[in-house]
Amino acid sequence: MTLNILFITITVKKRKRTTEDLVREEQAYQMLEENKQRQYKMYYPF
């Protein structure tokens, strides 16, 4: 009887965020909030 076992190693590293990443993330968040406001205004115009 042969038993084959796979061992997997997962390494997690903390990402270093650049200013470009932070700016892109902020822009995406602002766009998301603007779209939420538009949707709210469409469904509740009063």
Structural domain range at position 25: 16-46
Q: Read out DSSP for 5-33?
A: ---------PPPPPHHHHHHHHHHHHHHH
pLDDT of residue 2: 54
The verdict on residue 11 lying in a domain is no
Integer angstrom CA distances of residue 39 from 28, 30, 33, 43, 45: 17, 14, 10, 6, 10
Joined together, the tokens standing for residue 27 give: 């822009």
Count how many domains the chain has: 1
pTM score: 0.56
The verdict on residue 44 lying in a domain is yes
pLDDT tens-digit readout, 1-44: 555 567 777 778 888 989 999 999 999 999 999 999 998 888 87
The verdict on residue 40 lying in a domain is yes
The verdict on residue 5 lying in a domain is no
Q: Can you tell me whether residue 43 is helix, strand or coil?
A: helix
pLDDT of residue 12: 81
User: How far is 33 from 31, CA to CA, in rounded Å?
Assistant: 5
